[in-house]
Structures are given as C-alpha cells and as structure tokens.
Structure 1
Amino acid sequence: MAMIMKQAQIFNHKYRIVWPLFFIFSFSFSFAADLSNEANHYPTKPIRLILPFPAGGGTDNLARIMAPKLHKLLGQPVIIDNRPGASGNIATEAVAKANPDGYTVLMGYNSALTFNPLIFQSLSFDIQKDLKPVSLLATAKYFLVVNSSVPAKSVKELIALAKEKPGELNYSSAGNGGTLHLAAELFKFRSGTEITHIPYKGGGPATLGVLTGEVQMTFGSVTSVMPHIKTGKIRAIAATSLTRSSVLPDVPTLNESGLSGFNVTSWYGLLVPKNTPEMIVTKLEKAVHEVMESSEVKESMAKQGLDVTLSTPAEFDEIIKAETIMWRELNKKLKITAN
C-alpha cells in the first residue's frame, strides 16, 4: 500500500511539472502558427508609412509616389504619416517601438540611422537592435550653394574668402546632425576654414536663409536649390558627390575642386520593427522593388534629384553598419554634438 501511495506521489509530482510545460509548448506553437497565418495573408489592413520629414519636401514626394502603387500591389492603402523633428528621432522611435506586424514602416535616411546614435546620448531605442532593414530605395546628391551676393564663384575662391574672414561667413543646415550639417562640417575640416553653423528647422527654411541673406551658404538638395539657381538668386559652387550630377553637369564636384575624396550623399530606405516576420519583410521588399523599378517612378525620382538604388535587407543592413563605423571614426576629428 505504501509503495502504491509513493508511486502516486511521484506521478502527481511529474504531472505538476509536465502539465504546465504542455500548456507552454501548446501556447507557443499556437502563437507561432498565428504569426505564420498572419504573415501568409499580409496585409489585411492599411499600412502606416512613417516619415521623419514634413509634408511637401522631396522625400515626402518620394513616399507619395510610392504609396498608391504599393496600394495597388498589396491590396491595402499605404498611409503617409509625417513625423518631423529631433533630427529624425521622433519618427524612428515610433517605428522602433511599434508592433512587429508589418503595419508600421519607417522611411529612414542615413544621418538619422547612422549618425544620430553617435551624438544623441539618451535615445530610447537602438537602431541595430530595434529595427530591421527592408530595402534601400534611393540616393541623392547635394550642392554647395551661396547667395548671389557672395563674390566667390568657385570652391577655391570660397575657401580663400572664408580664410580671409574667419568666423564671419555663416552656413545654414536643416538641423543638428543632419546630412547637410555633416557635409558642411566636413567641408570646414577639409578646407581648414572657420564658418559658423546656423541650424534651421528643415531644408526649406535653411535654403530660405540663404535667399534672404541671413546666411551666405548652405548644402542643399536638388529640389530645394534648383528653382533658385535658375532665377539667379543663389549660385551652385560644387556637388558633394564623387561624380557630377546629371541635373547640373557643368557644376564641378568638391572632389575635383581640391578636396580629393570628398563624398557626402544621402540615402533613403525602408525599415520595420526588429521582430517582424521574415515572410512579411520579403513581401514588402518584393513589392517595393517592383514599384521602384518601373520607368515611371524612375523618371519621377530623377525630377526630384533622386537615383533609384535598391538592395536586399542584408545589403541594407551592411550599409547602415559600415556608415555608422565611418562616421564614428570621422566624428573623432569633427567633434559634432547634438547641441
């Protein structure tokens, strides 16, 4: 009898251990099956595309060209959600902390993803740990431009003028830590000049600062500076890329104007929360590639000064990591801060 009771106790003890484990494994299997089922039928509701830019800019236009075409391919609306501010951190945080279900997507850009983590000390998210790349979308070239009243008509003359008047020339940017800020600080470092930074809230206001004469120079995108170059209100001195722009082929590059190897461009790409299922990431990647590879979209992008540049998720991930390392090393010399 005692033996029977002892065996019963052992059985009950094992049962108490195994039974909860059974529920855990059953729940895990059910949860995984639900995720797989959702991924198979994705998307079943509107997708929110979060942009770290205000409405009306060149990159906002890129998103609005893509959105209806993605809607047609995926069968669900793509809603543009503009969340500018904090050098892109507001939009990036919103996606980093969103549910990893494929319905919240970030259109990120290089300085926000590779440089902000180096200069903002209290970010509540980690680019590498909280976001998953989907695809690179496009790249953009920039131009060094000056107010038409500035006597310099070449890089050499502008450098000479800045050295003649150290600290007296001002340049505008779209905000601390942005690509245009980085381009200007790299220009100062490479040319050995002292030019004062005046940050504005966006690329449009930064260009306006040059037009009104509040500042003498800036680094601007094709869409922001081209109309004013045509009217003669500002003058293009150089392109920031290694090769000349097809939009302004007569404007030399900084690389060929004495600053060998100077190359600052911008890129844009899509990212999702880190734990988004691979099946969903693949669906987004394929849809985006189909949209961006159409001749209609490429022509529209060219008018915005953007070159369609696509990648796999793994390639995009490597680009982010490599550029982060590059800026980390370079900022040891530039010493740019978020303040």
Structure 2
Amino acid sequence: MVLENRPGANGVIGAGVVATAAPDGQTLLFGHVGPLTISPATQVRMPYDTLRDFAPVTQVVSAATALVVRPGLPVRTVPELLDYARAHPGVTYGSVGPGSTTHLAGEMLQLMGRAPFTHVPYQGAAPVMTDLLGGRIDIAFLNVAGVLPQIAAGGVRGIAVSTLRRAAALPDLPTVSDTLPGFEVNSWYGVLAPAAVPQPIIDRLYREIVVILRTPEITRLMNQNGLDVEATTPAEFRAKIEQDLRRWAEVVRAVGLRSE
C-alpha cells in the first residue's frame, strides 16, 4: 500500500483525485467529514458530488470533540453553560478556523441551545488552547486527543463530548446530546472508493478492513488517540454521509456561512 497525501482546500483536492481515479479498487480515499460533507455546504464550486462520485466502504472511526471551558468559568455542565451564556452575553468560543467542525459545533450549540456565543476563529488548535489557558476565550470544542493532557492537568475543564456516544478516552464526560437531543458533531474518518468500483470489490475491501479494525490492538491504539472504532457497513456509512450532508447544509444555511 502506498499512502499519498494530497493537501489543499481542506482535503477537497485529494478527494477530487480519488473521485476521478480508475474504478479498479486500487485507489482509495481515506476521507474526513470535512471535505465530504461540510465543504459541499460551504463551497459553491465543488469538483465532485460526494454521493454520486464515491462508493463508501466503511466508516473507520468516530472522532469526538470535547467541549472544554477555562477553569475560571463557573460552569460544570452543558445546562449551566447555556444558562450562563444567556445571563452573560459575550461568552466567547474559539475554533481552529471558519467552516471547521470546531466552528460549526459552536454554531450548533447556539442554535439548539438558544444561547448566544461569540465566535473567535484561529488558525489551528494550538493558539485556541493557548488563549483558553490564558483566559482570553471562554470555551472551545477541540479534538479529544489534543485536550486530554490539559484536562488531566486541570488547565481546562471538560464538560461534554460532541458525539452521540461517550468517548472511550473520556468516559466520565456526558454527551452534549444528553442535554440537547440530536446534537452531534462527529469528525469521522472513513474509506471510500470511486463510485464505479464493482460491488464485489467494495464488499471484499470492507471485509478485509473490518478484520483489522476489530483487533484489540487497533481498538486500543485508536482509543489512546481519542478515536472510537466504528467499522460500519458500506450501507451504514452511506447513510451517515447522507445524514451529515443534510445536517451541515442546514447549519451553514442558518448561519450564512458560504464561500465563493
């Protein structure tokens, strides 16, 4: 196997290469929720249609983001945070950049929680954490693996995770959906093939990949990095993609986030 990184446009360029590759099962995409379901909502011109141009093989992992707050913020639960934001306008949340899952998670929290938050965009997670630790912003949704050390050290306080299930790496944290049913921000990764790859090849790829994913060693490795193994069927993965395409289109439309 040869791994080829094609950076650019939040992963859209690399995904576009696979979308037009020969349908022989030899070229696969290790894809992320961003270029496959968020970019179609935020970008007017896309080089592919996610549902038309790709054949889902399996969702490899779910990747939760943790809702963390600066230690001085007097909240320990999602309901307390929402009440505090309503009573104290101007509560800020940092993100790794506009259109990212960490940005849209904050927008969903505002929409579903009916509480105002002020978005402060950064370029990457490191400056978000720096300003959170320094008390210059109040809250953030950040990758679980990245916040584990700071939560353990008491630098930030974790109050919830964004996936529908609790994260294996943070089993004591509830989900945001416990308070706001239906809230889900899942930065998943999965394997996809060009759309015209024959179904028998898709099925074989699925079987072979799932055998690996279900080994205890891989599960343990993923959990240590803040990831939860999914190993869904091709049909289940397609349904997940369809669901997220609808979800992000609705959120982007509600907040007016769309680029040319």
TM-score band w.r.t. shorter chain? 0.7 to 0.9
> How far apart are the structure 2 equivalents of 1:249 and 1:329?
30
Q: How far, CA to CA, are the matches of 1:197 and 1:92 in structure 2? A: 29
Question: Aligned AA for 1:313?
Answer: P
1:308 pairs with one of 210, 229, 245: 229
Quote the Cα distance in structure 1 between the aligned partners of 2:99 and 2:57. 24
Equivalent in 54, 59, 76 of residue 153 of structure 1: 76
- Residue 265 of structure 1 aligns to a residue whose secondary structure is coil
Q: How many angstroms does 1:123 deviate by? A: 1.3
Residues in 2 aligned to 1:307 and 1:298: alpha-carbon distance in whole angstroms: 7
**Could you tell me which amino acid in structure 1 is paired with residue 174 of structure 2?**
P
Residue in 1 that maps onto 2:91: 169
Q: Secondary structure at the match of 1:104?
A: coil
Q: Deviations over 1:253-277 (max 9, x none)?
A: 3233x43442332322101222234
Instruction: State the superposition RMSD in angstroms.
Output: 2.6
Equivalent residue, structure 2, for 1:321: 242
- 1:190–1:321 distance in 2 versus 1, CA, 3 Å: closer
Is 221-230 or 328-337 further displaced after alignment? 328-337
Query: Unaligned 5+ residue runs, structure 1?
Result: 1-77
Structure 1's 227 and 127: CA in aligned 2 closer, same or farther, altered over 3 A? same
Q: 2:188 aligns with which of 242, 246, 267?
A: 267
**Structure 1 position 293 matched with structure 2 position 214:** yes
Q: TM-score normalized by structure 2?
A: 0.86
What is the total number of aligned residue pairs between the two structures? 260
Residue number in structure 1 paired with 2:121: 199
Map 1:93-172 to 2 at 5 A.
93-166=16-89, 168-172=90-94
| Greater shift in the superposed pair: 291-300 or 313-322 | 313-322
- 2:12 aligned with 1:82, yes or no? no
Q: CA deviation at 1:309?
A: 1.0
**What secondary structure is seen at the aligned counterpart in 2 of 1:252?**
coil
Higher helix share: 1
Q: Distance in 2 between matches of 1:170 and 1:118?
A: 25
Asked whether the equivalents of residues 87 and 178 of structure 1 are also in contact (C-alpha less than 8 Å), the reply is no
Structure 2 match to 1:245: 167
2:15 corresponds to which residue? 92
Note the residue ranges of structure 2 that are not aligned, 5 or more in a row.
none
Task: From the CA coordinates, give the structure whose radius of gyration is larger.
Answer: 1
Alpha carbons of 1:170 and 1:192: their partners in 2 closer, same or farther (altered >3 Å)?
Answer: same
SS of aligned partner of 1:132: strand
When residues 165 and 138 of structure 1 are mapped into structure 2, their CA distance, relative to the original with a 3 A threshold, is same
**Matched letter for residue 199 of structure 1:** P
Seen in structure 2, the aligned counterparts of structure 1 residues 314 and 241 have a Cα distance that, compared at 3 Å, is closer
